[in-house]
Structures are given as structure tokens and as C-alpha cells.
């Protein structure tokens, strides 16, 4: 029987082939226009002859660039799945071996297999592990990697433009790749896969919900809006954790609450990986809590969806999501009083900083919101909304500039005092919101309003101007 085993080995069962890859584009959500580019790659396989006849060059390699978990691997599989071709994969970190020659021979074997089983997609995960610019790493480890990279270049060139083996590689660092890799005929096409936006996140959640017993009234939008900054892998995990939740409680359907809860768990996990000192968490919490606590006093701003201190894409701090008002605000539908209330809310972080930390050690954490307040105050006065200037025919006269600025300042000061007063009267609520934020990092609408209920908001008069 030893001989038979050996013979089987000689036939060389493909080692890098992934069997049963059955991914379709419909399994990858939130791609928008990127999908068209990937559909074209499928056509290189299915309509290769047409491309060749028309003299269109088929790329040998495609780089999928983007952060971990956005679905690069999934997409590569979907390309193979849609084209109905074999899928070979290897992680480039496996190429890098301490034994000289191992990496290079693996690359050779990988491409040999892919060719024997063509048409096929070769997927190289984490290309940067082996594709960094040559000569940058000193010592024998560096030499070994250089040998591997050289072999990869040779293998890529072997298939150039024929469309029978197409290599798709993923990387989060296209900028550090060896220039030889991105030369024409090699990885000459880059596709960037960004983190999903609001709608993208909702679509991804829905894709993963397809195979789960979801309640009919699940509010995917609510979950999407509190998962800013999360990628597909994390969103998929939210659905999994929610399903476990449901099972544990002996229920038969996954509800919005299950999803919101597991989103919070996912987020805390994500945040625990972020470096922030306890003092900083608290400071950010005071900043965001102040806005929420002040906003809840105003009719157009009190519809708070959630409060978070999670650092999100494009935001250093957290944020308070107030529904409706944004829409109204954009459409210029806010009443005069609402605009003043908006200024007051934007000044709340600055006021809280003064109240909680004292004038002596003010930070700049509130700089952005203070800026918002200033420009809103100027529009208010410039728009002729200020009572003092209402109906003046020569309102925009050049010599009034100074006066307008002074009036904007006066309004800001009044709003600032208003914010301070609300915060002072709501210390209990502030402390409770800050505590929970530091603990949980995010509060859902329900959690926030529970605290409002419990610690009673004393509504002072709005600033009168």
C-alpha cells in the first residue's frame, strides 16, 4: 500500500486548491461601483477570446487594497465563483520561511497547480508580507524574501495577458510594495475597497441576515447607524453573536435589540484594542454627554439616536447622533430658536470642560464644536435673524462688519451661558451618562432616555436674545 500512497503523491493532488468555493457577488454587499470593476475581471475569464481578438490586454494581476475585514478575500472568491473557475489561495506570510528556497518553491508549486487546473484565480493574501521593496530587510531573512519575490515576479510574467490564470492579491499597504510588482503586466490594476458607509453597512447586515431567523420588523438602519467605522467581518460577527443570544434565551427570532446589544459588544471589543487612557475616555465622555444632555432640552434637537465615545472613521472623538434636526438644518428649515439651540448644543462641550475641569486646565477637545457654533452664530447674524438687525435696509453695509461680529459674539456668549446653566442643573444626569459611556462606550437611544427619565432634566428657560 506504500507504493499506492506514493503514486498518489506523484499525481500531486493540488495543495493550494480550495474546494467547494461557492461565493457569488450577491454574497458581497455594499460595494457600489466597485462591483462593475470586478464583473469585468469575471469577463476576462468568460469572454477572454473577445478581449484577445480586440487586442485588449488582460491584466495578469489585480490588487485589492483596503483595511482588514472589508471583504477582499470574499471578493476574490466571488470572482472565481462567478466565472466558474478554480480558486487557489495562499497567504503571503506563509511564503516567508526561514529555510532558504522554501518560499520560492512554494510560489512555483502554487502556479504550477493553478496552470494545470486552469482557468483559475490565484489569491495571495497579505501580499505586502512578501512584496515589500527588495533589499530593505537585512540579513538572511531578507534574502529569502527577495528570492520568493523574484519567483513571484517570474510566475506572474509567465501568464501575462493570456487570461487563463489571473492573480488577485490583497494588501493594506500598496504604498510599500516593490515597484517591480506593480509594473505593467503584473499587478497593474488596483482596486480600492474602503470601509462601508451607512448604506453599505445596512446591506452587509442584510446579506448576513439572509440565512438567520430574523424578526420581521428588524431595524437594520438603526444597527447600521451605530456601527460607524465597522467592516464586513465585524458586521457578520454581530449577526452571529445576536443569533447566539437568541438561542441562549430560548427564543426563535433575532430582534433589533439582539443586534444592538451585540453591536455594542463588538464595538467594545474593537475599542479595547484602541489605546486611550482612562482619563481620556472620561474626557471624551464628558464632551459627548454634554451635547446630549443639553440637546435633550430642545424640541428640534432632542431626538437623540445614540451617544458614543467610540473613535469613528474620520472623527477623533465620539459623537451624538440627533435625528431629524440634521435634515431640517441642511434644508434650512430650522426656526430661529432652533438655530440658537443648535449653537447652545455646540457650545456644551466647551461649557462642560469649564465646569468639570475648571478654567485653569481647559483642553482643546471642544475646538471643533466651538467652531461649528461660531459659524452658526455668524450665519444667524448675517442672515438677518438677529433681532437687533432685523429689517435694517442697509444691514450689509461694509461699515457694519464689526457690528455683525460683535453681535455674533454676543449671541455666542448668551448661548454659552445657557449651556452652562443646563449642565449645572443636570449634574446628576451628566455624571450618570458619563459613567455609562465610559463603561459601555455607546448608549442606545433607550439607554440614554432611561437615564434622562431617572435623573430628571430640569429645563431652564432657553437663552432669550
Q: Find out whether 200 and 236 touch, Cβ atoms under 8 Å.
A: no
Q: Closest separation between CB of residue 324 and ligand ADP, Å?
A: 29
Residues 427, 432: Cα–Cα separation, whole Å: 9
Of residues 224 through 263, those in contact with ligand ADP by CB under 6 A are: 232-233, 236
Of residues 134 through 193, those in contact with ligand ADP by CB under 6 A are: 170
Q: Which is nearer to ligand ADP, 69 or 142 (CB)?
A: 69
φ, ψ dihedrals at 178, nearest 5°: -60, 130
The one segment of 23-31, 48-56, 157-165, 325-333 that binds ligand ADP by CB under 6 A: 23-31
* Contact partners, residue 42, CB within 8 Å, separation at least 6: 79, 82, 83
Q: Which is nearer to ligand ADP, 210 or 459 (CB)?
A: 210
Q: Distance between alpha carbon 22 and the CA centroid of its chain, in Å? A: 26
Q: Find out whether 281 and 244 touch, Cβ atoms under 8 Å.
A: no
**Structure-block grid coordinates of residue 136:** 530593505
204 binding ligand ADP? (CB under 6 A): yes
Q: Closest separation between CB of residue 192 and ligand ADP, Å?
A: 12
Residues 178, 132: Cα–Cα separation, whole Å: 5
The one segment of 11-19, 25-33, 293-301, 340-348 that binds ligand ADP by CB under 6 A: 25-33
Q: Closest separation between CB of residue 266 and ligand ADP, Å?
A: 12
Place of cell 447607524: 225
Q: Which is nearer to ligand ADP, 77 or 342 (CB)?
A: 77
* Contact partners, residue 197, CB within 8 Å, separation at least 6: 30
Q: Closest separation between CB of residue 197 and ligand ADP, Å?
A: 12
Of residues 338 through 357, those in contact with ligand ADP by CB under 6 A are: none
Strand ranges for 126-211 from DSSP E:
165-171, 187-192
Residues 373, 367: Cα–Cα separation, whole Å: 10
- Helix, strand, coil percent content, the chain, rounded in steps of 5: 55, 10, 30
Q: Which is nearer to ligand ADP, 201 or 350 (CB)?
A: 201
**Burial state string for 221-232 with b = 16 or more CB within 10 A and e = fewer than 16:** ebbbbbbbbbbb
Rounded to the nearest 10 degrees, what angle do helices 232-248 and 198-209 cross at? 50
Q: Closest separation between CB of residue 65 and ligand ADP, Å?
A: 10
The alpha-carbon radius of gyration of the chain (Å, integer) is 29
Q: Closest separation between CB of residue 311 and ligand ADP, Å?
A: 20
The one segment of 24-32, 250-258, 315-323, 368-376 that binds ligand ADP by CB under 6 A: 24-32
The set of catalytic residues is 288
121 binding ligand ADP? (CB under 6 A): no
Interaction mask 53-92, ligand ADP, x per CB under 6 A: ---------------xxxxxxx------------------
Q: Which is nearer to ligand ADP, 224 or 433 (CB)?
A: 224
Q: Which is nearer to ligand ADP, 170 or 287 (CB)?
A: 170
- Sites of contact with ligand ADP (CB under 6 A): 28-30, 68-74, 170, 204, 207, 232-233, 236
Amino acid at each position: 500500500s506504500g507504493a499506492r500512497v506514493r503514486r498518489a503523491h506523484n499525481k500531486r493532488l493540488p495543495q493550494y486548491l480550495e474546494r467547494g468555493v461557492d461565493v457569488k457577488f450577491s454574497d458581497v454587499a455594499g460595494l457600489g461601483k466597485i462591483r462593475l470593476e470586478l464583473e469585468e475581471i469575471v469577463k476576462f475569464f468568460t469572454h477572454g477570446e473577445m478581449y484577445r481578438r480586440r487586442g485588449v490586454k488582460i491584466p495578469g494581476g489585480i490588487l485589492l487594497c483596503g483595511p482588514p475585514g472589508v471583504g477582499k478575500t470574499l471578493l476574490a472568491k466571488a470572482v472565481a465563483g462567478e466565472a466558474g473557475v478554480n480558486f487557489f489561495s495562499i497567504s503571503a506570510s506563509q511564503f516567508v520561511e526561514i529555510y532558504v528556497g522554501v518560499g520560492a518553491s512554494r510560489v512555483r508549486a502554487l502556479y504550477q497547480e493553478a496552470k494545470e487546473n486552469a482557468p483559475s484565480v490565484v489569491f495571495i493574501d497579505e501580499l505586502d508580507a512578501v512584496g515589500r521593496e527588495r533589499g530593505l530587510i537585512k540579513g538572511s531573512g531578507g534574502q529569502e524574501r527577495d528570492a520568493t519575490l523574484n519567483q513571484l515576479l517570474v510566475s506572474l510574467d509567465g501568464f501575462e495577458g493570456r487570461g487563463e490564470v489571473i492573480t488577485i492579491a490583497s494588501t493594506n499597504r500598496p504604498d510599500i510594495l516593490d515597484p517591480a510588482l506593480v509594473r505593467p503586466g503584473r499587478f497593474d490594476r488596483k482596486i480600492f475597497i474602503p470601509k462601508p458607509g451607512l448604506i453599505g453597512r445596512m446591506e452587509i447586515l442584510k446579506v448576513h441576515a439572509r440565512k438567520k431567523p430574523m424578526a420581521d420588523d428588524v431595524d437594520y438602519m438603526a444597527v447600521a447607524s451605530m456601527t460607524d467605522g465597522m467592516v464586513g467581518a465585524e458586521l457578520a460577527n454581530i449577526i452571529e453573536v445576536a443569533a447566539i443570544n437568541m438561542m441562549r434565551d430560548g427564543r426563535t427570532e433575532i430582534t433589533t435589540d439582539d443586534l444592538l446589544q451585540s453591536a455594542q459588544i463588538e464595538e467594545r471589543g474593537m475599542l479595547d484594542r484602541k489605546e486611550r487612557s482612562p482619563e481620556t475616555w472620561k474626557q471624551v465622555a464628558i464632551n459627548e454627554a454634554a451635547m446630549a444632555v443639553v440637546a435633550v432640552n430642545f424640541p428640534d434637537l432632542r431626538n437623540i439616536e445614540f451617544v458614543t465615545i467610540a473613535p469613528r472613521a474620520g472623527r477623533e472623538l465620539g459623537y451624538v447622533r440627533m435625528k431629524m434636526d440634521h435634515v431640517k438644518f441642511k434644508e434650512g428649515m430650522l426656526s430661529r430658536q432652533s438655530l440658537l439651540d443648535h449653537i447652545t448644543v455646540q457650545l456644551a462641550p466647551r461649557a462642560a470642560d469649564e465646569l468639570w475641569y475648571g478654567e485653569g486646565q481647559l483642553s482643546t477637545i471642544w475646538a471643533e464644536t466651538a467652531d461649528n457654533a461660531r459659524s452658526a452664530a455668524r450665519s444667524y447674524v448675517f442672515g438677518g435673524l438677529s433681532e437687533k438687525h432685523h429689517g435694517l435696509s442697509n444691514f450689509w453695509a461694509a461699515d457694519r462688519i464689526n457690528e455683525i461680529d460683535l453681535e455674533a459674539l454676543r449671541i455666542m456668549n448668551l448661548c454659552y451661558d445657557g449651556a452652562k446653566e443646563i449642565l449645572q442643573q443636570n449634574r446628576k444626569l451628566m455624571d450618570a451618562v458619563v459613567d455609562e459611556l465610559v463603561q459601555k462606550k455607546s448608549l442606545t437611544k433607550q439607554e440614554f432616555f432611561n437615564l434622562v427619565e431617572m435623573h430628571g432634566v430640569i429645563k431652564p428657560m432657553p437663552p432669550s436674545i
